[in-house]
Amino acid sequence: MSKNLPLSRWSIASRVLAALFGGYALAYGFTAFFSVYLPLVRADRVVFSSLACFAVWTAAVIYVFAARSATRAWLWLVGLTAALCLAAFLPTELGVRP
């Protein structure tokens, strides 16, 4: 974030919402993806994914407030969440659901 640009209230509100809800959605997508694809026993996959999602959520929050614009942060969060969720929920040949 540039120090010279004044942030509007809308930009700050959008970043806070992106950090809360977008970060949560990204953490959910990360958990779903890794609970399907990690090469561990199912219980271990779920526990590892669930614990690691807090680090993902924290990284998302840091990224949202460091991004150049709130729109860019939203686009990255939505794109990554969609990709992770599609990869987790679309393949049926594995017979595993998160």
The pLDDT tens digits for 12-70 are: 999 999 999 999 999 999 999 999 888 889 899 999 999 999 999 999 999 999 999 99
What pLDDT shows up at residue 78? Answer: 96
The total of structural domains in the chain comes to 1
> Contact at 8 Å (CB) between 67 and 80?
no
Average pLDDT over residues 74-97: 84
> Contact at 8 Å (CB) between 80 and 29?
yes
Tell me if 38 is assigned to some domain: yes
As given in the structure block, the two tokens for residue 44 are 């271990």
Tell me if 24 is assigned to some domain: yes
**93: pLDDT confidence band, cut at 50, 70 and 90?**
low
Tell me if 72 is assigned to some domain: yes
Tell me if 2 is assigned to some domain: no
Task: Please state at what angle helix 70-89 crosses helix 23-37, rounded to 10 degrees.
Answer: 30
Range of the domain at 67: 13-93
As given in the structure block, the two tokens for residue 63 are 């990224």
- The set of residues, in sequence order, having a beta carbon less than 8 Å from that of 53 and lying 6+ positions away, is 27, 28, 30, 31
**90: pLDDT confidence band, cut at 50, 70 and 90?**
confident
Tell me if 4 is assigned to some domain: no
Tell me if 6 is assigned to some domain: no
- End-to-end Cα, the chain, rounded Å: 36
As given in the structure block, the two tokens for residue 95 are 């017979």
